[in-house]
Amino acid sequence: MQLYKIYQVGNFIKRTLSAAIFAIVLIAGITLHPVGFLAVFLGITLLGTFEFYKLAKKADSSPQFVTGMLAAGFLFLACFADLHLNITSIFLLLAVTIVMLPIIELYRKKENPFANIAFTLLGLLYVALPFSLLNYMVFPFNDQQFHYEIILGVFVMIWANDTGAYLVGVNFGKHRLFERISPKKSWEGSIGGAIITLVVAWLYSNYSDDLTQVQWLVTGVIVVVFGSIGDLVESLFKRSINIKDSGNILPGHGGILDRFDAILLVSPMVFVFLQTIKEFFH
């Protein structure tokens, strides 16, 4: 019993330290300088894509690691360099990748060739593209200015949603949200997380003038809805290949996909919302 308590304390310290380091690196990358943002999130994009391809191998496929990783890196860099949102460049890169994948697969002589192509492309669409679209949160308008407040606010709201859902769910959760995929999540926790997220969005709107108060609240709703779904989708993927964590890069917290599961669906929807604002309201 004493050894078990020591283990629990040690595990708690490990989780706390890794979470603190993770938060510090992420916030520094977001707020200090565009080059810091580029370095941190390009690294996260490549690590997340690589992690996805490793998991895909457990689904009896052999994704094209090199091609997929190169395409993921180029996609992020293209979005970072594309301050005026020339969407054509993104689709050109994806179009070339879509053509190249089956050609390369012809020469690989691997089993399940179409599963290999599908998982390679899915790694780009599900992981690399959402991270790449984060560039348009830090350069949301055509002024070529670095606006870190929006992306920082999105991450703060994601953390608020996760923390609120956990605390309320642990203490008051009785009705399962999606038991087939995530047995521990409850409606009570989701509602609690949503309320806390919207409160944070309202408070944050008093700090940042990049968006209006109403726009921040809409962003909060996007985070609540699509962040929660993103969590469930990643859980569905892990259950389909019978694993608990996507990786172990963050001690006590799993892998990159475990930590960023919410942003994978939140990012594209916030991107669409920001472009709508820019087109009609800015």
Measured between alpha carbons, how far is 28 from 42 in angstroms, rounded to an integer? Answer: 14
Tell me what pLDDT residue 141 has.
67
Tell me what pLDDT residue 175 has.
67
Beta-bridge partner residues of 250: 254
C-alpha to C-alpha distances, 219 to 60, 86, 155, 272, nearest whole angstrom:
38, 23, 11, 11
- pLDDT for 177-190, tens place per residue? 666 676 677 778 88
Residues 6 or more apart in contact with residue 139 via CB below 8 angstroms: 83, 145, 146, 147
Choice among 55-64, 163-172, 270-279 with the minimum mean pLDDT: 163-172
Place of tokens 């060739």: 113
Tell me what pLDDT residue 9 has.
47
Which has the closest alpha carbon to 93: 80, 108, 118, 76?
76
Place of tokens 């919207």: 198
pLDDT exceeds 50 at position 7: no
- pLDDT for 116-171, tens place per residue? 999 999 999 999 999 999 998 888 766 677 889 999 999 999 999 988 888 888 78
**Which of the four pLDDT bands, split at 50, 70 and 90, describes residue 73?**
very high
**Whole-structure pTM value:** 0.89
Measured between alpha carbons, how far is 65 from 52 in angstroms, rounded to an integer? Answer: 10
For the chain, give me the number of helices (H) and strands (E)? 12, 2
> Would you list the domain boundaries of the chain?
33-142, 147-281
Tell me what pLDDT residue 267 has.
96
Residue type, 238: K
Contact call for residues 277 and 139 (beta carbons, < 8 A)? no
Measured between alpha carbons, how far is 74 from 68 in angstroms, rounded to an integer? Answer: 10
Higher per-residue confidence, 222 vs 96? 222
- pLDDT for 76-113, tens place per residue? 988 888 655 556 667 777 788 889 999 999 999 888 89
